[in-house]
Amino acid sequence: MPLLQMKNVNINYRLKNRQVRAVRDFTLDINEGDIVGVIGESGSGKSTLAHGLMRILPGNGYLEASTITLNGKDILNISDSEFRKLRWVEMSIVFQKAMSALSPVHKIFGQMYDAILAHKPETGKEEAIKKLEKLLAVVNLPRKALDMYPHELSGGMMQRMMISLGLIFNPKLVILDEVTTALDVITQGQLLDEIKRLVKEFGLTVMMITHDIGVVNELCTKIAILYAGELLEYGDVKDVIFKPLNPYTKALVESHPDLNPHGGGLRGIPGTLPDLSNPPEGCIFYDRCTCRLDRCREEKPELRDFNNRKVKCFKAGEFNG
């Protein structure tokens, strides 16, 4: 049984005279122990998917799906109060801009404890400190960091602190949304090592949202390629990166200087994301695809099983893989 099962997830944002269809027909199983990299350009719907799963969409956003289960339990049709009981406890999320969430004039532990109490009012101070100390040790943060003010911690230390906070109630699944993005390369490398240690030590399952395919290559076991709100390819990270079946995946890999098999520098993918308030009828990548067929304009390819992975492309396997 998958730890997280998502079937036909659609997430829309209502605007004055239109709707942004930010995530469309997203279907994916995440198994226990997987470290899934969710990758896509800015605006592809990564955070929307995460927020939808955690029920923290803004007021104009809403999610529809046929199934969402966590550990076999229906988490789609339960009430908000039921859902609140499992947020942080079974599934948590850590954001990129951790620092800005904290007040600069109060010490870190007090603010973290307030957040902990908001989720589980019965948590004792000593218990919280004990749990945090254990987590901080794994991510190489000194105990005294809890008594500091936010500005006394570097960006990397702050991210480690926020990740520790997100793990305080031992959730099985943690969603990390661009937690390494604002960090320099060395700090990013350290944080990735620490995340690996946390995964091992606490048996975590991770959804790692990033737009850096290098980070996915370094950390993840699986990769989900998101483009303009649709899942285009999913599978084992090495298979997908080194033998992409979807032309968008291939372009994404080639745009990364370290992963490009032909060498060379950073190359962008010409063109822009389609209008999400009026997505095209056919393949979502049609406009920018260098391998497209006539049928791709009118006909949307299904996500299908192919060589042990999932791919959405009529030509999957013909040009690569």
Binding site for ligand ATP (CB under 6 A): 13, 15, 20, 22, 40, 42-48, 58, 60-61, 211, 276
Q: Considering just the CA atoms, what is the radius of gyration of the chain in Å?
A: 20
CB of 229 to ligand ATP, least distance (A): 7
Q: Which of residues 14-53 bind Mg ion (CB under 5 A)?
A: 47
The interface partner of residue 40, options being ligand ATP, Mg ion, none and the CB cut-off 5 to 8 Å by kind, is ligand ATP
Q: Which is nearer to ligand ATP, 58 or 270 (CB)?
A: 58
CB of 277 to ligand ATP, least distance (A): 9
CB of 133 to ligand ATP, least distance (A): 32
Q: Which is nearer to ligand ATP, 116 or 174 (CB)?
A: 174
Burial 182-208 (b: 16+ CB within 10 A, else e): bbeeebbebbbebbeebbeeeebbbbb
The interface partner of residue 214, options being ligand ATP, Mg ion, none and the CB cut-off 5 to 8 Å by kind, is none
CB of 216 to Mg ion, least distance (A): 15
Provide DSSP, 5-72.
Answer: EEEEEEEEEE-SS-EEEEEEEEEEEE-TT-EEEEE--TTSSHHHHHHHHHT---TTEEEE-SEEEETT
Distance CA 153, CA 30 (A): 34
Q: Are strands 173-177 and 91-94 parallel, antiparallel or unpaired?
A: parallel
**Residue 180 is a binding residue for Mg ion (CB under 5 A):** no
Q: Which of 199, 160, 213 is nearest to 183 (CA)?
A: 160
CB of 263 to ligand ATP, least distance (A): 26
Residues that bind Mg ion (CB under 5 A): 47
